[in-house]
C-alpha cells in the first residue's frame, strides 16, 4: 500500500460568494495542515446578486461555528420560511412552498395519504396548506424558533441575505484563520506540459501563484475550468429557456418584513421579491426568445414596491452545467461550475454541496481518477435533481396566455421528472426520494401547487377510520392556527433576538 502524497497548498481563484465560502470551509477544516490562498480582482468585481437560500445553509454556518445573531446583523439577513408563488399555475392562482413539514411531526410520514383518504371520501377538510405551520406563520408575517421536538419541530427556515456582505463577512473569518488574500487580475494560466494540470496563475503585474489544488470560483468566466482546461458544458436551455436577468433593489414600502420570497410568473419569465433588513431585492428572470430587454425592464420597474435604489443590473447566462466539475487538479464551484436559474434559490446551496463533497473526496497529489469521477457523479446527480424540480414549475402549468408558457407546458421533459410526476399523480407517492435534495414536503407543495393532484392514495390507508381522521385533522388545524397567530412578527423576532443591524 502507498502512502498518500498530501496536498500542501490550495489556490482559490475568485472572491465572490463561492470563493469565500470555499476559503472559510477549507480554513476551518484543513487550515492547520496546508496553505490557502485566494486571488480576486476588484476591477472585475462579483456578480452582485444571490440573496435567497434554502435550509441547509444553516448547517454550513453551523459548521463554521458562526453566531446566528451576528451573522444576521452583518449580512442584513431576514428569515425565509418558503416561497410564495403567484400566477404560476394560472393567472390569479397562488400557492406556498414551505420549508417546514405538513402536519404535527418532524417528518411528512402519512400526512398526505391521510389527507387524500379523507378527501377521497368527499369530505372537504381544506387545502394541505392549512396544516403547515410554516405556511400559516409566513402568510401572517410571523416568525418562530424551530425546536428538536414538539410541533415547532415542523418549522423550517433559511435566510435572505446580502450576498456581498456575506462574502465580506466570510473573508474576515477566513483571514483570521490564516487565508492569504491576493488582490490582482489573473492574466494567464500555466499548465504542466505533461499532465495538463494547472501549475500556477500569473497576474497582470507578473506575480505567479503556484498551488497543488485549484478551486475555480471565477464566476461565469470559468478562468480555469473553461478557458484553460476547455471542459465542456451541458446546455439545458431547451428545458429552462430563461437566459437573462435584470436585478434592481428597492426600498421597503412598509414596516413589515415578509418572511418569504415571492415569485410571480410573468409573460416572459418570472419576478423575484426578496425582503432583506435594509432593502428589497427584485429581479426579473426572462427568456430572450420570448421577450425583449425593454419589455422586461418596463415590467420590472412597474412591479417594485418602493423607491428604486439603483439602476437595473443586467445579466446573461446559459442554464446548464460543466461536463466535469472537477477536471485534473481543478474543482469548479459556483457560477464557474454551471448555473440553474434562481427560482428555488439553489446556487449557493450547490456551492455548499460542492464544498462538502470535496471534503469527503479530498485528493492527494496523485489526483486519482476514480476519486474525481466519484465526486463528479455525485455532484451531477445534485444538479440533475434540482434541474428537474425547476422544470416542474414551468411544465406543470395551465397557462397559455403567452408563448413562453405554451412552449414550456408542451415541451418534452426529462424521463426522471416525467416518472416522478406520474408516480405522484397515481397515488401521491415520491419516486427516488432518497436521492433528492428537496424533501417530499417540497415536492408535494410544488406538485400540488402546480396542479398535479393525486388520483388515488395508498391502499393501505383505506383501512383507517374516516371519523377518527376527520377529528384529527380538525384538531390539528385548530392547534396550528392558534400557534401561528401567537408567534411574533418577523421584525419583532429579529429585534428580540438582537438580529437587527443598527442602520
Active centre residues (catalytic): 80
16 binds ligand FAD (CB under 6 A): yes
Characterize 137-151 residue by residue with b for buried, 16 or more Cβ atoms within 10 angstroms of its Cβ, and e for exposed. bbbbbbbbebeeeeb
Scanning residues 356 to 385, which ones bind ligand FAD (CB under 6 A)? Answer: none
Contact 107, 54 (CB under 8 A): no
Which of 136, 348, 396, 445 is close enough to bind ligand FAD by CB under 6 A? 348
DSSP SS3 for 312:
coil
CA distance 89 to 445: 13
Scanning residues 165 to 194, which ones bind ligand FAD (CB under 6 A)? Answer: 185-186
Size of the site for ligand FAD (CB under 6 A): 38
Neighbours of 125 (CB within 10 A): 18
Binding mask 302-341 for ligand FAD (x = CB under 6 A): -------------x-x----------------xxx-----
245 binds ligand FAD (CB under 6 A): yes
347 binds ligand FAD (CB under 6 A): yes
Stretch that binds ligand FAD, among 343-351, 372-380, 423-431, 477-485 (CB under 6 A): 343-351
DSSP SS3 for 120:
helix
Q: Show Cβ contacts of residue 289 under 8 Å, excluding neighbours closer than 6 positions.
A: 241, 243, 404
Which of 10, 22, 50, 325 is close enough to bind ligand FAD by CB under 6 A? 50
269 binds ligand FAD (CB under 6 A): no
Q: Show Cβ contacts of residue 502 under 8 Å, excluding neighbours closer than 6 positions.
A: none
The length of the chain, given as a count of residues: 503
Which of 10, 11, 15, 469 is close enough to bind ligand FAD by CB under 6 A? 15
164 binds ligand FAD (CB under 6 A): no
Q: What are the CA-CA distances from residue 447 to residues 332, 388, 415, 444 (Å)?
A: 32, 12, 16, 5
Report how many helices (DSSP H) and strands (DSSP E) the chain contains, helices first.
Answer: 14, 21
Ramachandran area for residue 428 (φ above 0: left; ψ -120 to 50: alpha; else beta):
left
CA distance 296 to 286: 7
DSSP code of residue 45: -
Least distance in angstroms from the C-beta of 167 to ligand FAD: 7
Stretch that binds ligand FAD, among 29-37, 136-144, 321-329, 345-353 (CB under 6 A): 345-353
Least distance in angstroms from the C-beta of 31 to ligand FAD: 20
Binding mask 200-229 for ligand FAD (x = CB under 6 A): -----------------xxx-x-x------
Chain residues in the site for ligand FAD (CB under 6 A):
14-19, 39-41, 44-47, 49-53, 163, 185-186, 217-219, 221, 223, 245, 247, 283, 315, 317, 334-336, 342, 345, 347-348
Amino acid at each position: 500500500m502507498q502512502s498518500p502524497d498530501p496536498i500542501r497548498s490550495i489556490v482559490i481563484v475568485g472572491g465572490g460568494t463561492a470563493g469565500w465560502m470555499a476559503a472559510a470551509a477549507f480554513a476551518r477544516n484543513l487550515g492547520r495542515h496546508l496553505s490557502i490562498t485566494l486571488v480576486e480582482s476588484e476591477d472585475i468585481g462579483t456578480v452582485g446578486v444571490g440573496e435567497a437560500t434554502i435550509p441547509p445553509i444553516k448547517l454550513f454556518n453551523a459548521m463554521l461555528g458562526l453566531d446566528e445573531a451576528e451573522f444576521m446583523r452583518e449580512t442584513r439577513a431576514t428569515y425565509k420560511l418558503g416561497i410564495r408563488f403567484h400566477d404560476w399555475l394560472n393567472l390569479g392562482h397562488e400557492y406556498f412552498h414551505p420549508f417546514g413539514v405538513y402536519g404535527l411531526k418532524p417528518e411528512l410520514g402519512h400526512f398526505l395519504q391521510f389527507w387524500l383518504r379523507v378527501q377521497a371520501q368527499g369530505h372537504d377538510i381544506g387545502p394541505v396548506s392549512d396544516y403547515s405551520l410554516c405556511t400559516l406563520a409566513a402568510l401572517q408575517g410571523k416568525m418562530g424558533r424551530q425546536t428538536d421536538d414538539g410541533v415547532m419541530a415542523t418549522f423550517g427556515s433559511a435566510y435572505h441575505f446580502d450576498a456581498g456582505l456575506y462574502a465580506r463577512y466570510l473573508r474576515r473569518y477566513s483571514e483570521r484563520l490564516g487565508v492569504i488574500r491576493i488582490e490582482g487580475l489573473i492574466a494567464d494560466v500555466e499548465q504542466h506540459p505533461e499532465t495538463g494540470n494547472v501549475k500556477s496563475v500569473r497576474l497582470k503585474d507578473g506575480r505567479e501563484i503556484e498551488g497543488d489544488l485549484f478551486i475555480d470560483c471565477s464566476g461565469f468566466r470559468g478562468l480555469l475550468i473553461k478557458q484553460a482546461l476547455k471542459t465542456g458544458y451541458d446546455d439545458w436551455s431547451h428545458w429552462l429557456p430563461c437566459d437573462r436577468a435584470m436585478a434592481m433593489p428597492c426600498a421597503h414600502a412598509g414596516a413589515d418584513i415578509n418572511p418569504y420570497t415571492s415569485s410571480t410568473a410573468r409573460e416572459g419569465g418570472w419576478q423575484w421579491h426578496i425582503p432583506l433588513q435594509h432593502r428589497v431585492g427584485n429581479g426579473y428572470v426572462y427568456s430572450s426568445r420570448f421577450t425583449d430587454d425593454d419589455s422586461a425592464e418596463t415590467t420590472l420597474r412597474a412591479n417594485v414596491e418602493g423607491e428604486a435604489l439603483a439602476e437595473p443590473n443586467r445579466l446573461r447566462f446559459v442554464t446548464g452545467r460543466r461536463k466535469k466539475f472537477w477536471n485534473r487538479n481543478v474543482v469548479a464551484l459556483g457560477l464557474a461550475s454551471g448555473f440553474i436559474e434562481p427560482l428555488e434559490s439553489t446556487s449557493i446551496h450547490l456551492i455548499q454541496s460542492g464544498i462538502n463533497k470535496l471534503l469527503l473526496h479530498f485528493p492527494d497529489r496523485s489526483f486519482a481518477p476514480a476519486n474525481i469521477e466519484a465526486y463528479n457523479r455525485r455532484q451531477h446527480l445534485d444538479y440533475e435533481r434540482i434541474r428537474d424540480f425547476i422544470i416542474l414549475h414551468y411544465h406543470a402549468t395551465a397557462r397559455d396566455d403567452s408563448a413562453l408558457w405554451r412552449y414550456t407546458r408542451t415541451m418534452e421533459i426529462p424521463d426522471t421528472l416525467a416518472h416522478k410526476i406520474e408516480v405522484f399523480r397515481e397515488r401521491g407517492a415520491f419516486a427516488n426520494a432518497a436521492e433528492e435534495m428537496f424533501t417530499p414536503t417540497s415536492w408535494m407543495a410544488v406538485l400540488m401547487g402546480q396542479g398535479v393532484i393525486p388520483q388515488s392514495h395508498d391502499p393501505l390507508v383505506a383501512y383507517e377510520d374516516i371519523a377518527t381522521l376527520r377529528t384529527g385533522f380538525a384538531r390539528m388545524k385548530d392547534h396550528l392556527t392558534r400557534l401561528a397567530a401567537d408567534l411574533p412578527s418577523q421584525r419583532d423576532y429579529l429585534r428580540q433576538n438582537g438580529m437587527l443591524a443598527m442602520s
